Amino acid sequence: MKIIVLTGGTSPEREISLRSGKAITNGLRANGHDVTPIDPAFGVNQPKTEEELFTFDPLENRISNENYIKCIDSNLFDGCDMVFIALHGKWGEDGTVQSLLELKGLRYTGSGVLSSSVAIDKSMTKILFQHYHVKTPKWITINSHGFEPTAIEERVLKIIGLPFIVKPNDQGSTVGFSLVKNIDELEPAIRFALKFSERALIEEYIQGREITASILGKQVLPIVEVKPKHELYDYECKYTKGMTEYLCPAPLDETIVKHVDHQALLAYESCECKAFARVDFILNEQNELYCLEVNTIPGMTDLSLVPMAAKAAGMDFPTLVQRIIDLSIQS
């Protein structure tokens, strides 16, 4: 097949997307596919070499959101059989690129426009979780269009209480993320989150074990437990070797494993996800399970959780990316 891997992009997760895109490109080539990596943020003026394309430059000034349209509307996609989307966060995981690809008549991997846009919206996802009886931490959202700190403090303390998490409503990879233990920290945490989104999510902090369930089609892969060196599984712990211990399969009682699998599939289906996704949970000391979010385009780097879970299921990386292609064609 002639496959284009969309990687990079303009979101705060650009660096991780490039790492995912490189791994996916290599994995697909190992399967014998004709693969071309493309960064839509460059438009039609793609880097001259793959080495340049996959090199992250935080000062890059040639990228823009407008270039996405120019790129996908160009002849770069001529003869393409499938687009493997490796764009994380906004303008890649949120239905935007999926819409452009559908207008172009191109097949792509993963979830569709609606499920992508719903799943990246953490507040909307939680509303669906409640409807489908997937337990999730208490939350409220704050709009960027002016807010009164004192009124918000009272509301947060009444509905959620201390401590709590503040994060952008539609970002991933713990971008703009804060743990607030003192109410005086609330306003700066909100302002930090609002640098990355028009809405901030304030969420009840559940202390416990961080676990994640990866799904391929309707198959839940072995559960991964994440044990970061920091208090929370933050950006540094996620993407720096040695900063996190991973247990896969997670050492959980079989009854809990079945419950996690069931809740993961419920969360996945509540957002009408397709082909693959990753569902994140916290398991507290009373073995109560709380679902945090659904990731429709999870990381595919050497430290990422989906490849780790697939490996525990006896699936190497080339087999995993081929399975995603196959499931995307079937869905």
What residues are annotated to the active site?
A: 13, 173, 239, 278, 280, 293, 295, 299
Cβ proximity of 141 and 200 under 8 Å: yes
H/E run at residue 100: helix 96-104
The Cα 278–Cα 294 span in angstroms is 6
Residue 107 · residue 82 · CB < 8 Å: yes
- 239 in Cβ contact with 303 (< 8 Å): yes
Which residue carries 């309707």 as its tokens?
Answer: 218
Q: Which structure tokens are listed for 326?
A: 């196959």
122 closest CA partner among 28, 201, 31, 55: 201
d(CA 37, CA 18): 10
Give the H or E element holding residue 70: helix 66-72
**Contact (Cβ atoms closer than 8 angstroms) between residue 25 and residue 35:** yes
Biggest distance spanned by C-alpha atoms of the chain: 60
Name the residue among 273, 288, 173 with its Cα closest to residue 219: 273
